[in-house]
Chains A and B, each alone.
Chain A
Amino acid sequence: MPIQYADGGVVAEHTAVREAVGVFDVSHLGKATVAGAGASDFVNACLTNDLGRIGPGQAQYTLCCAEDGGVVDDLIAYLVNDDEVFLVPNAANTAEVADRLRRVAPDGISVTDQHTDLAVLAVQGPRSRAVLEATGLPADLDYMAFVDVEHGGRRLRICRTGYTGEHGYELVVDSDGASDLFEALLAAAGEEGGRACGLGARDTLRTEMGYPLHGQDLSREISPLQGGARWAVGWRKDAFWGREALLGEKAEGPRRRLRALRATGRGIPRSGMPVLDGQGAVIGRTTSGTFSPSLRVGIALALVDSAAGVDLGAEVVVDVRGRPLPCEVVKPPFVPSHVR
């Protein structure tokens, strides 16, 4: 997927998703299937979130943690049935997640990396429903639900998921059918005032929602408690990777927390910039930052030391290449979510 399309630009593509619809080729995402008797119980004993909270035909945001509680990857788990779970991890981490599962998988449970076999297209925005309907695809799905259908002689998995904060769908299709489907969706999107969107808009859209990006806001060094993903941990479960370390950290309280910062001055925070308190002491570091096309100000996610006692509404300063940028600590998302 390109950063942006030639006739678009990040702002135009971002706006299309917020106001109409955008079509993304997100085939870079990983795809893997865990199958065999008791596959869902097996996955549930490894990944953090509780698959018992959802039923077949529903998906869930979950984490693959290391034993020390660091996040190997964040992913979406699609519960097909008790004996099959489809996983969508991040591209760079798919092999690692699959390996970790495979190493401890009991006999009869297989973990298949389908990264090159399958493509994923995302249709996101208030007009996404119309685009699916015009393409002859079922669109009447609850948030985080999915359905398998036949379309043009191909099997398609249609999911009410996404990474933009808008009503949207992600479509899993055989790689060799992806190009035709992308063109069909794009043509339908054009009728709805939509367009093709790239990685740049994907990042500004997810940052406005405060969604973490693995490798920046969550990582092997940033635990779910620190990265604002404690809701994606099934704390009552008997087993999941990293359980002991995370329960310990939860009891103690995380030493730092991901905070949402909204610039009150002119300037754009980017990842890796120091965050200072009113006295100029370093109290954290930004992990993501961008210009918010919706708000037309700089926004950032930052890991801030718990000891700094920074609360919602507090003013902090981001050091933007030596220039102080005042920011307010706000409650994410930066713009209202419309996923439901």
Chain B
Amino acid sequence: MSAVPEELRYTQEHEWVAIQESGTVRIGITDYAQRQLGDVVFTQLPEPGQRFATGDTIGEVESTKSVSEIYMPLAGEVLTRNTGLEDQPESLNEDPYGDGWMIEVRPDDPSELEGLLDAGEYAKLADNG
């Protein structure tokens, strides 16, 4: 079974969104997603300062098996990215909700968070594959 932490929000694209105290959000891929991908060997993440609309393709995660696109879960500006993944892409497999985080974003419209899946809804989605 994949881990689905209660406190996070999720997307249909198997990404998670963590709301920080400052109002910014942290984004990554779920435990289910990293299992499907297999060994992650490369990530391409957006530059800080770039702005994206909801659903935009913002990067790539490549495993030994396949390449997957990363989508913007909610509109906003990229504040930082996890440069640690450049040297240690395996963090995405080992700690998808921790060291494997990908980017931090300032949402344009915080109410967009309401439209994301909660842990219960996402658990059902991941369960059904």
Asked if residues B65 and A10 are in contact (CB atoms below 8 Å), the reply is yes
- Residue ranges of A at the interface with B (Cβ–Cβ < 8 Å): 3-4, 9-12, 200, 204, 266-268, 270, 290-291, 293, 298, 321, 323
Query: Contacts A9-B39, A268-B41, A291-B41 given: A200-B64 contact, CB under 8 Å?
Result: yes
B92 to chain A, nearest CB (A): 13
- Flag whether B38 is at the interface (Cβ < 8 A): yes
Check A268–B42 contact: CB distance below 8 A: yes
CA distance A58 to B64 in the complex (A): 35
Q: A200 contacts which chain B residues (CB < 8 A)? A: 38, 64-65
**Most chain B Cβ neighbours within 10 Å, of A9, A270, A290:** A9
The total of chain B residues at the interface (CB under 8 A) is: 12
Task: Say if the beta carbon of B95 comes within 8 Å of chain A.
Answer: no
B44 CB within 8 Å of chain A:
yes
- Please, which residues of chain A bring their CB within 8 A of the CB of B90? 11
Q: Which residues of B contact A266 (CB under 8 A)?
A: 42, 44, 86
Q: Give the complex CA separation of A124 and B38 in angstroms.
A: 23
- Using A266-B86, A291-B62, A323-B44 as known contacts, list a sample of 5 further A-B pairs with CB atoms less than 8 Å apart, ordered by residue number in A: A9-B38, A9-B64, A10-B65, A204-B64, A298-B42
Q: Which residue of A lies closest to B41 (CB)?
A: A291
Report Cα–Cα, A45/B8, bound state, in Å: 68
- Nearest 8 A-B pairs (CB), nearest first? A10-B64, A291-B41, A11-B39, A9-B39, A268-B42, A10-B39, A268-B62, A200-B64
A to B contact number (C-beta, < 8 Å): 39
Asked if residues B42 and A291 are in contact (CB atoms below 8 Å), the reply is yes
Highest count of chain A CB atoms <10 Å: which of B41, B44, B62, B67: B41
In the bound assembly, the distance between CA atoms of A9 and B86 in angstroms comes to: 20
The distance from the CB of B91 to the nearest CB of chain A, in whole angstroms, is 14
A4 with B38: CB separation less than 8 A = yes
Chain B residue at minimal CB-CB distance from A291:
B41
Q: Are B39 and A3 in contact (CB under 8 A)?
A: no
B62 contact set on A, CB distance < 8 A: 268, 291
Q: How far is the CA of A12 from the CA of B64 in the complex (A)?
A: 11
In chain B, what residue has the closest Cβ to A292?
B41
Q: Which of B36-86 contact A (CB under 8 A)?
A: 38-39, 41-42, 44, 60, 62, 64-65, 67, 86
| Known contacts A3-B65, A204-B64: A10-B42 contact under CB 8 Å | no
User: Is the beta-carbon distance between B64 and A267 smaller than 8 angstroms?
Assistant: no
| A4 to B, closest residue via Cβ | B38
Task: Give the CA-CA distance A291 to B65 in the complex, in Å.
Answer: 10
Q: In the complex, A242 Cα to B39 Cα: how many Å? A: 42
Chain B residues, CB < 8 A from A204 = 64
Q: Please, which residue of chain B has its CB at the minimum distance from the CB of A12?
A: B39
With A4-B38, A268-B41, A323-B44 in contact, do A290 and B64 touch (Cβ < 8 Å)? yes
- Chain B residues near A11 (CB-CB < 8 A): 39, 41, 64, 90
Chain A residues contacting B44 (CB-CB under 8 Å) are 266-267, 323
List residues of B (74-129) whose CB comes within 8 Å of A's CBs.
86, 90
A290 nearest CB neighbor, chain B only: B64
Instruction: List, sorted by A's number, 11 A–B pairs whose CB atoms are closer than 8 Å.
Output: A10-B38, A10-B39, A10-B64, A10-B65, A200-B65, A266-B42, A266-B86, A270-B67, A290-B64, A291-B64, A321-B67
The docked-state distance in angstroms from the alpha carbon of A274 to that of B39 is 25
Nearest Cβ distance between residue A101 and chain B, in whole angstroms?
A: 36
Residue on A with the closest CB to B38? A9
CA A323 – CA B60 in complex, angstroms? 12
Q: Which of B39, B64, B90 has the most CB of A within 10 A?
A: B64
Residues of B within 8 A of A291 (CB): 41-42, 62, 64
Chain B residues with Cβ under 8 A from A9's Cβ?
38-39, 64
Return the chain B residue nearest A11 by Cβ. B39
Query: Whole-angstrom distance between the alpha carbons of A166 and B62 in the complex?
Result: 27
Q: Which A residues are CB-close (under 8 A) to B60? A: 321
Complex: A4 Cα to B44 Cα, angstroms: 24
Can you name the residue of chain B whose Cβ is closest to the Cβ of A203? Answer: B64
